[in-house]
Structure 1
Amino acid sequence: MYNGRTDPVEHVSHFNQRMTIHSRNKALMCKVFSSNLGLVAMRWFDGLGADSIDSFKELTRTFRSHFIMYDMVPRCLDSLLYMTMREGETLKTYSNRYWEMFNEIDRDFDDMATRPFKVNLSAEHGLRKSLTGKPANSVRQLMD
């Protein structure tokens, strides 16, 4: 359900994925689209004028432009460089935050993203010492 406060592009992408089997039937796609809208988005949908939308493509474009303020802006690599392990934070929590941030980065910086993780671990952490001796070459390898 789209609540009006999340990324509209992501919502349309998920909707398209769920409707893959019906993707050629654009009229059905338009009719079913409203069934995935919460209260705020449904008010917007109900406010569309009769015959104001001519295609599913136009419906999704109008939807995205109306809810553009919630469009997710990709993060840059600097986001990882400034992330540090907090005092008292567990390795699991730090790893989860790091992995989430890495997945929000716009481009593939896999080769450069492992170093800040290691450097920003607390100095006495055993994993930091282990990664110094046997460095990870990718974020996937690091998380494994």
Structure 2
Amino acid sequence: MSEALDQISKSPFTRSIEGARLPRWFHQLMFTVYNGRMDPVEHVSQFNQRMAVHSKNEALICKVFPSSLGPVAMRWFNGLKTNSIDSYKQLTQVFGSCFITNSRVLWPLSSLLSLSMCKGETLKVFSDRYWEMYNEMDGNFNDVAISTFKSGLLTEHGLRKSLTGKPIINVR
């Protein structure tokens, strides 16, 4: 236990970060805690948004980042070598490298093309499933989304008949 306590009392930050003082007016913010299973890029993005007003104070951002980590990620952080982190960019790169296997993979366009309404499925369930997948895609596929949504509906569905008769110009 003594070794573990020694390890966590050592900082991975260089002296320039470790020695920086927090502004007197700084109040600790509440963060979404990274549980070791979420997308690390999303976590860093949320953290950056919460710390946006302090974006010029890199030492502060580095020192506060560990407070957004849950137990699994804190074990990773506590295992970093002493004096090994000298910037927020480096910290987030090392963080992302460790938890890269949790990165969210965007759906390819082909997955949207193969999606269709199942027999007995309600329009709401199909629509929710369709647009959730659409929102998980990288790129602007509005034209494809409109036509695949229409063609994914059952041929006898009233909405499909209605959409086929009207020209649709955008997803909204």
Do the two structures share a fold, i.e. TM-score over 0.5?
A: yes
Q: Equivalents in 1 of 2:80, 2:171: separation in Å?
A: 45
Contact 1:23/1:29 (8 A) holds in 2: yes
Where does 1:1-144 land on structure 2 (aligned, <5 Å)?
1-140=33-172
Q: Deviations over 1:76-115 (max 9, x none)?
A: 1111111111222221121111111111111111112111
* Superposition deviation, residue 30 in structure 1: 0.9
Q: State the structure with more CA Rg.
A: 2
Q: Equivalents in 1 of 2:47, 2:122: separation in Å?
A: 36
How many residues are matched?
140
The percentage of aligned residue pairs carrying the same residue is 62
Q: Equivalents in 2 of 1:135, 1:33: separation in Å?
A: 50
Q: Equivalents in 2 of 1:116, 1:59: separation in Å?
A: 42
The amino acid across from 2:84 in the alignment is: S
TM-score, length-scaled by structure 1: 0.91
Q: Deviations over 1:53-82 (max 9, x none)?
A: 111110000000111111122221111111
Q: Equivalents in 2 of 1:35, 1:90: separation in Å?
A: 44
From the two aligned structures, give the one with the greater helix fraction. 1
Structure 1 runs of 4+ off > 4 angstroms?
none
TM-score, length-scaled by structure 2: 0.77
